[in-house]
Amino acid sequence: MNTMLDLIIEGGAVIDGTGAPRRQADVGIAGDRIVRLGDLTNVPARERFDARGRVVAPGFIDVHTHDDRLLLDAPAGPHPKLSQGVTTVVTGNCGISLAPLQAVATPPAPLDLLGTDAWRFGSFGDYLDELEQTGPAVNAACLVGHSTLRVRRMDRLDRAATAHEERLMALDLAIALEAGAIGMSTGLYYPPAKAASTDEVIAVGAPLTSARGVITMHIRDEGDAIDSALREALLIGRALGIDTVLSHHKLVGKANHGRSVETLAMIEEASRNQSVCLDCYPYNASSTMLLPGRVAQSDDVRVTWSKADPSAAGRSLFALARERGVAPEELAQTLQPAGAIYFAMSEDDVSRILQHPLTMVGSDGLAHDVSPHPRLWGTFPRVLGHYVRERRILALEQAVHKMTGLSAARFGLAGRGVLAESAHADVVVFDEATVSGTASFENPTAVSTGILAVFVNGKLACRNGRTVDVHAGRVLRHGRSE
């Protein structure tokens, strides 16, 4: 006798996240789990979802986000992650996490990319507990930021940590890992951590080894000195003996265009002796705090926000500088604190990196920018529409794997990222003929098309871009079954 299921997604082409070819199958869900795949025509269900002519895939996993605060304060309208098929996010990247840090004043940039008024968590466990109590829109796996630990424990950031400060930060990390953090991130490129030594990162990260945590690294340089920065990151990963993720791998500045051939070869060689992988976003422009030193290497710079001059948001820094009769670098200084988009990457490098077998997909979106980079809203549909359907540089099954199964395996997210019996019921249904990341630099918050339904832990969370359930997600604590 067939047991009544809660939901059957029927008639779709299942791409299961493993990289295997698609197959026709129904997906049967009971509670928060997938319990059956195959022909479920005669199986009773409380609800059936018609997916005929559509693709049914695991919910996308955004491995590189700054959604720490967005998880606490879901928007009233369309959700930037649910609307593009994302069901799980990895937060706390680039050395920046919302916890553990209590701060009355605004913390130094780039920590302020998470906003200015939510720095109230004295422990990482307090942050995860509040997430669980409020119920996030998507599943959340959270990293501890090395820069956040430095701000918490050091009176000055323009020097390497003392042995005592290293011990304090390592203790903070150990406590966070015990509470459920999945690992630590670094942002050695940024001012709060620029003075940190390689030995400091290894000392602070020591608890990761026994906890089998992961380290994600915004390396020290992504331009002229990228070779030495990669060597440092790989050394840190080897010293700790843990999984290492190279964040948003890219080459900036015209002089470095094409060098992804070399950097990918270096990473591939290292992968033979240590666990290393990388993520990227599918755009040839980056976004972070507005840095005068980045202006000259960019073809254009677009201001995403400015506290000193809010009217600059969404404008070209170069155009504004011409209007005001000043040098772009000078204007960048007067707009501080501020954020920006930098057009300084080669599309050939982006494509080459995206195609590499070690590469996962992450948005690196900044949810609190006034005029954000379109990657916040459009990353995953853009991969499917632009790089799979239009340019054909990836097979659909390969692209889905990079956004689901590969990501879950690398970050240790058991039961996520695949469509299989007993897996968590995180599912996206999309139209491969129309799916597209419609967000643009001119209209960065446009909702993607072709994402028809998103189920998070078995609950319908989004339908045709409209949020249905904003509390279907869970906190994915390290070392604990969910």
Q: Which two tokens stand for residue 135?
A: 């119920």
pLDDT level of residue 260 (50, 70, 90 thresholds): very high
Residue with tokens 């918050």: 445
- DSSP letters of 3-17? PPBSEEEES-EE--S
The answer to whether residues 359 and 280 touch, using CB atoms and an 8 Å cutoff, is yes
Q: Is the pLDDT of residue 268 over 70?
A: yes
Q: Are 235 and 364 part of one and the same domain?
A: yes
Q: What is the band of 281 on the pLDDT scale with cuts at 50, 70, 90? A: very high
Q: Has residue 299 got a pLDDT over 90?
A: yes
- The pLDDT of 121-140, averaged and rounded, is 98
CATH number at residue 228: 3.20.20.140
In a domain, 34, yes or no: no
User: For residue range 146-205, what is the model confidence (pLDDT) as tens digits?
Assistant: 999 999 999 999 999 999 999 999 999 999 999 999 999 999 999 999 999 999 999 999
Residues 211 and 255 in one domain: yes
Give the residue from 380, 414, 448 where a domain finishes: 414
Mean pLDDT of 298-317: 96
Compute the Cα dihedral for 61, 114, 300, 438 and give only its sign. positive
Domain boundary among 379, 414, 449: 414
For residue 337, the model assigns a pLDDT of 95
Same domain for 321 and 205, yes or no, is: no
Are 255 and 329 found together in one domain?
no
Does residue 157 share a domain with residue 276?
yes
pLDDT of 148 reads: 98
Q: What is the pLDDT of residue 427?
A: 99
Residues 389-415 pLDDT 10s: 999 999 999 999 999 999 999 999 999
253 and 398 inside one domain: yes
CA 345 distance to own-chain centroid: 19
Phi, psi of 132 (to 5 degrees): -65, -40
Average pLDDT for 322-331: 97
Give the Cα-Cα-Cα angle 133, 426, 452 (nearest 5 degrees): 110
Let me know whether 152 and 192 are in one domain.
yes
Is 277 inside a domain boundary?
A: yes
Q: What pLDDT is stored for residue 482 in this prediction?
A: 56
Q: Are residues 214 and 296 in the same domain?
A: no
Pick the closest to residue 185 from 217, 229, 141 (CA basis): 217
Q: Is 240 helix (H, G, I), strand (E, B) or coil?
A: helix
What does the DSSP assignment read for 14-26? Answer: E--SSSPPPEE-E
Residues 333 and 392 in one domain: no
Same domain, yes or no: 246 and 293: no
Task: Encode burial over 81-100: b for 16+ CB neighbours within 10 A, e otherwise.
Answer: bbbbbbbbbbbbbbbbbbbb
Average pLDDT, the chain: 97
Note the pLDDT of residue 116: 86
Q: Is residue 481 part of a domain?
A: no
pLDDT confidence band for 2 (50 / 70 / 90): confident
The answer to whether 46 and 3 are in contact (CB under 8 A) is no
Question: Among 380, 395, 414, which residue terminates a domain?
Answer: 414
Domain range for residue 374?
A: 59-288+342-414
pLDDT value, residue 5: 98
Let me know the angle formed at the C-alpha of 270 by 362 and 406, rounded to the nearest 5 degrees.
35
Q: Over pLDDT 70: what percentage of the chain?
A: 99
Q: What is the DSSP string of 121-170?
A: ESSHHHHHHHHHHH--SSEEEEEEEHHHHHHHH-S-SSSPPPHHHHHHHH
Tokens 């590499």 correspond to 356
User: Residue 106: is its pLDDT beyond 90?
Assistant: no
Q: Give strand pairing partners of 344.
A: none
Q: What DSSP state is assigned to residue 436?
A: B
* Global confidence as pTM: 0.97
Instruction: Report cis status (omega within 30 of 0) of the bond before 337.
Output: yes
Instruction: For the chain, give the percent of residues with pLDDT over 90.
Output: 96
In a domain, 461, yes or no: no
- Report the CATH number that the domain containing residue 317 is assigned in CATH: 3.30.1490.130
Number of separate domains in the chain = 2
Q: Say what the pLDDT of residue 117 is.
A: 86
Note whether 178 and 306 are same-domain residues: no
Domain check: are 395 and 246 in the same one? yes
Asked if the structure places residue 85 within a domain, the reply is: yes
Question: Per residue in 46-98, pLDDT tens?
Answer: 999 999 999 999 999 999 999 999 999 988 899 999 999 999 999 999 999 99
The mean pLDDT of 88-116, rounded to a whole number, is: 94
In a domain, 459, yes or no: no
Residue 38 counted as domain residue: no
CB count within 10 Å of CB 288 equals 24
Q: Is residue 6 part of a domain?
A: no
Q: Does the CA dihedral 296-302-306-308 come out positive or negative?
A: positive
Other beta carbons less than 10 A from residue 115's beta carbon: 16
Please give the pLDDT value at position 74. 85
Question: pLDDT value at position 481?
Answer: 54
